[in-house]
Amino acid sequence: MEAFTALAGLYQERIFRTILGFTRNPEDAGDLTQETFMAAFKSLNSFRQGARFYTWIYRIAVNSTLNFLKKKGREKNRTEFKKDVDSLSLPGSPPNSPEGESLRNELGRRLDEAVSGLPLPFRSSFILVVHEGMSHADAAGVLGCSENTISWRMHKARKLLQQKLKPYLDEVRHGLP
Amino acid sequence: MACRKFERWISDDMDNRLSDKMRAALRKHLKECERCRSYQENLKILQAEAQKPGEVAVRAEFLEDLGRRLEKALYSGPASGSEKAARLGGRWKWAWAGVAVFVLALAGGAFLLLRPKTPPDLWPASYEDSLALILGEIGEDADLAESFDQVLEASIGEALFEAEYPMFWEDLDEDEIRLMELDIENGREI
pTM: 0.61
Across residues B78-101, what is the average pLDDT? 65
Overall number of domains in chain A: 2
Nearest residue, CB atoms, B179 vs list A79, A115, A148: A79
Asked if residue A63 and residue A119 are part of one domain, the reply reads no
Across residues A1-14, what is the average pLDDT? 78
Residue A12 lies in a domain: yes
Poorest-pLDDT segment among A8-12, B16-20, B148-152: B148-152
Residue A42 lies in a domain: yes
Q: How far apart are the first and last CA of chain A?
A: 57
The yes-or-no verdict on residue B159 having pLDDT over 60 is no
Going A162 to A108 to A34 to A6, the CA torsion angle's sign is positive
CATH number where A153 lies: 1.10.10.10
Determine the pLDDT at residue B30: 95
Query: Which CA distances in Å does A18 have to A32, A41, A132, B78, B121?
Result: 11, 19, 8, 24, 62
What domain range includes position B39? 2-50
User: Using CA atoms, how far apart are residues A41 and A4, in angstroms rounded to an integer?
Assistant: 8
Task: Write the CB contacts of B34 (distance below 8 Å, at least 6 apart in sequence).
Answer: none
Determine the pLDDT at residue B35: 93
CATH number where A45 lies: 1.10.1740.10
Instruction: Express as a percent the part of chain B with pLDDT over 70.
Output: 68
Residue-averaged pLDDT of chain B:
75
Asked if residue A67 and residue A103 are part of one domain, the reply reads no
The yes-or-no verdict on residue B34 having pLDDT over 80 is yes
CB < 8 Å from A in window 31-90 of B? 38-39, 41-43, 45-47, 49-52, 54-56, 58, 62-63, 66-67, 69-71, 73-75, 78
Determine the pLDDT at residue B81: 45
Kindly state whether A9 is in contact with chain B, defined as any CB-CB distance less than 8 angstroms.
Answer: yes
Judged by CB atoms closer than 8 Å, whether chains meet at B66 and A136 is answered as no
Determine the pLDDT at residue A12: 86
Which residue of chain A is at minimal alpha-carbon distance from B15?
A: A135
The yes-or-no verdict on residue A82 having pLDDT over 60 is no
When pLDDT is cut at 50, 70 and 90, the band that residue B36 belongs to is very high
Could you tell me if residue A80 is left (phi over 0), alpha (psi between -120 and 50 degrees) or otherwise beta? beta
Residue B84 lies in a domain: no
Asked if residue A62 and residue A12 are part of one domain, the reply reads yes
The yes-or-no verdict on residue B116 having pLDDT over 50 is yes
Query: Which CA distances in Å does B136 have to A133, B130, B139, B144?
Result: 58, 10, 5, 11
Residue B72 lies in a domain: no
The dihedrals phi and psi of B17, each to the nearest 5 degrees, come to -115, 0
Residue B39 lies in a domain: yes
Residue A84 lies in a domain: no
Residue-averaged pLDDT of chain A:
79
Determine the pLDDT at residue B187: 67
Determine the pLDDT at residue B170: 59
Q: Are A83 and B188 in contact (CB under 8 A)?
A: no
The yes-or-no verdict on residue A81 having pLDDT over 80 is no
What domain range includes position A159? 98-175
Across residues B51-59, what is the average pLDDT? 70
Q: Which long-range contacts (CB under 8 A, 24 or more apart) does B15-20 make?
A: B15/A129, B15/A135, B15/A136, B15/A151, B15/A154, B16/A135, B17/A136, B17/A147, B17/A151
Instruction: Express as a percent the part of chain A with pLDDT over 70.
Output: 78
When pLDDT is cut at 50, 70 and 90, the band that residue A77 belongs to is very low
Q: What is the pLDDT of residues A17-60, one digit of tens each?
A: 889 888 888 889 999 998 998 888 888 777 766 667 788 888 88
Asked if residue A124 and residue A65 are part of one domain, the reply reads no
Asked if residue A171 and residue A108 are part of one domain, the reply reads yes
Residue A86 lies in a domain: no
Determine the pLDDT at residue A93: 46
Asked if residue A103 and residue A35 are part of one domain, the reply reads no
The yes-or-no verdict on residue B167 having pLDDT over 90 is no
Asked if residue A60 and residue A18 are part of one domain, the reply reads yes
Determine the pLDDT at residue B40: 95
Burial of A149 (0-12, 13-18, 19+ CB in 10 A): buried
Determine the pLDDT at residue B6: 92
Q: Are B18 and B8 in contact (CB under 8 A)?
A: no
Determine the pLDDT at residue A50: 63
Query: Which of B3, B6, B8, B11 should we substitute to test contact with A (largest number of A Cβ atoms within 10 Å)?
Result: B11
Question: Which residue in B179, B14, B170, B51 sits closest to A155, CA to CA?
Answer: B14
Overall number of domains in chain B: 2
